[in-house]
Amino acid sequence: MKCTNSVRKRKIVPIVLAAAVFLTGCGSAKYDMAYELNNDVSGFQLLNITNQETLEPFAADLCVADKDVKMTGIDLPEAGAVALFNLKTLDTLYAKNVNVQINPASLTKVMTALVAIKYGSPDQMLTASENVLITEPGAQLCGLKPGDQMTLEQALYILLIYSANDVAVMIAEGISGSVEEFVAVMNQEARELGATNCNFTNPNGLTDENHYMTTYDLYLIFQEAIKYDLFNRIIQTPVYSTVYKDQSGAEKTLEVNSTNQYLRGTYEMPSNVKVIGGKTGTTNAAGHCMMILSTDSSGTPYISIIMKEPSGEGLYTDMSKLLESIK
**Concatenated DSSP letters for 108-156?**
HHHHHHHHHHHHS-TT-EEE--GGG----TT-------TT-EEEHHHHH
Catalytic pick among 106, 176, 294, 325: 106
Q: How far apart are CA 189 and CA 200, in angstroms?
A: 11
Q: Return contacts of 128-134, CB within 8 angstroms, 24+ apart.
A: 128/166, 128/170, 129/169, 129/170, 129/173, 131/169, 131/173, 131/179, 132/166, 132/167, 132/169, 132/170, 133/166, 134/165, 134/166, 134/169, 134/206
Catalytic pick among 28, 96, 109, 297: 109
For the chain, what is the largest distance between any 2 Cα atoms, rounded to a whole number of angstroms? 69
| Residue 163 a catalytic site member | yes
| Residue 271 a catalytic site member | no
Catalytic pick among 163, 258, 304, 325: 163
Q: How far is CA 182 from the centre of its chain?
A: 16
| Residue 106 a catalytic site member | yes
Question: If we measure between CA atoms, which residue out of 64, 43, 52 comes closest to residue 9?
Answer: 52
CB 123 within 8 A of CB 153: yes
Q: Which residues are catalytic?
A: 106, 109, 163
